Amino acid sequence: MNASMTIIGGRKSKTILERTMKGIFIGCGLFAIIAVLIITIYMIVSGAPAMFTIGLKDFLFGTEWAPTAADPKFGILPMILTSLVGTGLTILIGVPIALMAAVFVSEVAHKKVAGVVKPAIELLAGIPSVVYGLLGMIILVPQISKLEALLYANDPAHIFTGGANLLSGIIVLTIMILPTVVNISITSLKAVPQEYKEASLAMGATKMQTIFKVQIPAAKSGIITGIVLGIGRALGEAMAIILVSGNVANMPALFSSVRFLTTGIVSEMSYASGLHREALFSIGLVLFIFIMVINVTLNTLLKKEAAANEK
Amino acid sequence: MKKIITVTALVLCMVFAVIGCSAPAAEESTAAPSESASTEASASTEATASASTEASGEAISGSVQMSGSTSMETIANALKEAFMAQYPDVSVDVQLGGSSVGVQDAQSGKSDIGNVSRELKDDETGLVANTIAIDGIAVIVHPDNKVTEITSEDLVKVYTGEIKNWKDLGGDDQPIVVIGREASSGTRGAFEELLKIEDQCQYAQELNETGAVKTAVSATPAAIGYVSLEALDDTVTALKVDGAEATEEAIKAGDYPLSRPFIMATKEGELRPEVQAFLDFVMGEEGQAVVADNKLITIS
């Protein structure tokens, strides 16, 4: 063994090793920052010009998207609203289910049952998103189609989507965010000190009271982190929902064919050219800003909360 | 002791990583000569190949200017690449602008070839219409659908939202789910152009792939969609349009309405050798193989 490479070497060789390792660590740390910087700069450089060519107001608040028409229109308001409504409803439905599932696995279920449920949920996270989309298209969409036919049987103005609509998209997204939120919630519930639970039970609280009044509040910051990641996943997902949401740039309604910001980019990028292509980059920039704003806002709120708790 | 091993392993990893980074450069320098040798070799095989196709055997050089139809952009570029691989001394340039621009440019001599994705009109004279491929579109429905044929007028009404129920077309009482492609798709462009319903369609679903349209139609009993003819299989049923089956034979006989020729129009008279070579290549076996690869109907 080369003596100069071991930690029992002399002071000089040790210093060299220390310095090299420090340099390597700095390099690796910088790598992430550089990647984020390059992506940000690239998004702005390639996305901003089209926004101003089209006009910021026409682009962000225009309600019509017809990029290849004789008189092209580049309004992305329907996509923005669809992404917001879709993600919002997904979180609204998905988070309670995920939280209850996490409580079930970590507190209520018998150890053996939890031992089956937990890996199953973890496995859910590993399934590629396009598989969710395919299954949704083949299993879920026909059922939603029947529901739609039932609800709108006597409505001549309704454009039938055949089940590919916002509702299907939300259901698929809800299933997709479950593992993210569940796993992080389980971890944070398990991290709540055992004494809290014991104290609460000793004071005469029931098991459910203990879970809802003591353990969940104590695990709050972890659970919120899970929700933030879930929002990120729902807002950024494209492959799964492109197959089940119809992909026509309409205003969001449960039984309307809709297009999300992500699917707007994915579906048209392959053949687009000129201003149309640039406009797709601009959609990317809008999505990027959305996710950044949500992350930064929620993280700041979380930190404030944590600081308040420590006082 | 454990620590020593870990640190050594870590350092070794780093060293290998550094070696890994620098190695390609060294390999590149050694690889470069062999690479050029292989290109030379392929060039010589190309030379013999072109010599065998060209009876005269003379090397052709120069440039071919093309302009016109955006629908033909993909096929024109594919043909350009295949041609330039065989004739490296000829540069082919593809410009866009639309079929009418292609006609004007070919007439005025601004381009050697005008790409036109429709029949030439009667007043577009002075040109030779070299049809290089045919683009056909099939209208598809779910296999269980009772409707088996449709007129082009009804098709227009379905896609513009005037007819909303299959019972108006002789089928079951169920609302029609209108499925199409995304805005920049060539198939959608051709379909809407042939029916003259550009920018008037009311789609229930806009999918970004031929395969996705087929899957959606085969999964939705009330759906109608369109795909290029080559993509047809037995998961869906192709409707007869105006009484004609969606087949290559019907298209070549001129009976099936949802088809259009891809024409490379040239000026009448003698062509420059490189332009003639390009057209010969396109019409020949290799060019038509490219046409078939691009999901178009060959002219042979």
CATH assignment of the domain containing B109 = 3.40.190.10
- Asked if residue B249 and residue B140 are part of one domain, the reply reads yes
Long-range contacts of the stretch A53-61 (C-beta < 8 A, 24+) = A53/A275, A53/A278, A54/A275, A54/A279, A54/A282, A59/A279, A59/A282, A60/A286
Q: What is the mean pLDDT of chain B?
A: 80
Reported pTM: 0.73
Domain that includes residue B45, residue range: 1-51
- Asked if residue B158 and residue B244 are part of one domain, the reply reads yes
| Residues on chain A touching B11 (C-beta within 8 angstroms) | 5, 17
B161-206 tens-digit pLDDT: 899 889 999 988 888 999 998 887 778 888 998 899 988 888 988 8
- Asked if residue B217 and residue B145 are part of one domain, the reply reads yes
- Asked if residue B47 and residue B75 are part of one domain, the reply reads no
A89-135 tens-digit pLDDT: 999 999 999 999 999 999 888 889 999 988 998 888 889 988 999 89
| Residues on chain B touching A5 (C-beta within 8 angstroms) | 7-8, 11
Give me the DSSP letters along chain B: -HHHHHHHHHHHHHHHHHHHHHHHHHHHHHHHHHHHHHHHHHHHHHHHHHHHH-SS-PPP-EEEEEEE-STTHHHHHHHHHHHHHH-TTEEEEEEES-HHHHHHHHHHTSSSEEEESSPPPTT--SEEEEEEEEEEEEEEE-TT-S--EE-HHHHHHHHTTS--BGGGGTS-S-B-EEEEE-TT-HHHHHHHHHTT-TTT---SEEESSHHHHHHHHHH-TTEEEEEEGGG--TTSEEPEETTB-SSHHHHHHT--SSEEEEEEEEESSPPPHHHHHHHHHHHSHHHHHHHHHTT-B---
**Among A10-14, A132-136, B10-14, B121-125, the least confident range:** B10-14
- Asked if residue B240 and residue B158 are part of one domain, the reply reads yes
pLDDT band at A204; cut points 50, 70, 90: very high
CB atoms B14 and A20 under 8 Å: yes
pLDDT band at A9; cut points 50, 70, 90: low
Asked if the structure places residue B228 within a domain, the reply is yes
| Residues on chain B touching A164 (C-beta within 8 angstroms) | 204-205, 216
- Partner residue facing A142 (CB), from B183, B208, B219: B219
The pLDDT of residue B221 is above 70: yes
As a whole-number percent, the residues of chain A with pLDDT over 70 amount to 96
Structure tokens at A5: 């490479």
Is this complex's ipTM strictly greater than 0.90?
Answer: no
- Asked if residue B219 and residue B180 are part of one domain, the reply reads yes
Decide if A234 contacts A262 (C-beta within 8 A): no
- Asked if residue B287 and residue B145 are part of one domain, the reply reads no
The pLDDT of residue B19 is above 50: no
Asked if the structure places residue B259 within a domain, the reply is no
CB atoms A142 and B220 under 8 Å: yes
A39-72 tens-digit pLDDT: 999 999 999 999 999 998 999 999 988 887 778 8
Decide if A186 contacts A104 (C-beta within 8 A): no
- Asked if residue B82 and residue B221 are part of one domain, the reply reads no
Asked if the structure places residue B171 within a domain, the reply is yes
Query: Burial of B24 by CB count in 10 Å (0-12 exposed, 13-18 middle, 19+ buried)?
Result: exposed
- Of B30, B51, B72, which residue constitutes the final position of a domain? B51
The pLDDT of residue B55 is above 50: no
Asked if the structure places residue B226 within a domain, the reply is yes
CA atoms within 13 A on the CB side of B7: 18
- Asked if residue B111 and residue B86 are part of one domain, the reply reads yes
CB atoms A257 and B223 under 8 Å: no
**Among A150-154, A231-235, A275-279, the least confident range:** A150-154
Q: Where are the domains of chain A?
A: 3-54, 58-310
- Going by the DSSP 8-state scheme, the letter that residue A228 receives in this structure is H
The pLDDT of residue B51 is above 50: no
- Asked if residue B247 and residue B157 are part of one domain, the reply reads yes
As a whole-number percent, the residues of chain B with pLDDT over 90 amount to 31
The total number of structural domains in chain B stands at 3
- Asked if residue B202 and residue B239 are part of one domain, the reply reads yes
The pLDDT of residue A192 is above 90: yes
Selected from 3.40.50.1220, 3.40.1350.10, 1.10.3720.10, 1.20.200.10, the CATH number assigned to the domain covering A58-310 reads 1.10.3720.10
B62-117 tens-digit pLDDT: 899 999 887 788 889 999 999 999 998 999 999 887 788 888 889 998 999 999 88
pLDDT of residue A94: 95
Asked if the structure places residue B58 within a domain, the reply is no
- Partner residue facing A141 (CB), from B175, B199, B219: B219
The pLDDT of residue A305 is above 80: no
- Asked if residue B143 and residue B249 are part of one domain, the reply reads yes
| Residues on chain B touching A142 (C-beta within 8 angstroms) | 219-220
A140-179 tens-digit pLDDT: 988 998 898 888 887 777 888 888 899 999 999 999 999 9
For B203-226, what is the mean pLDDT?
Answer: 88
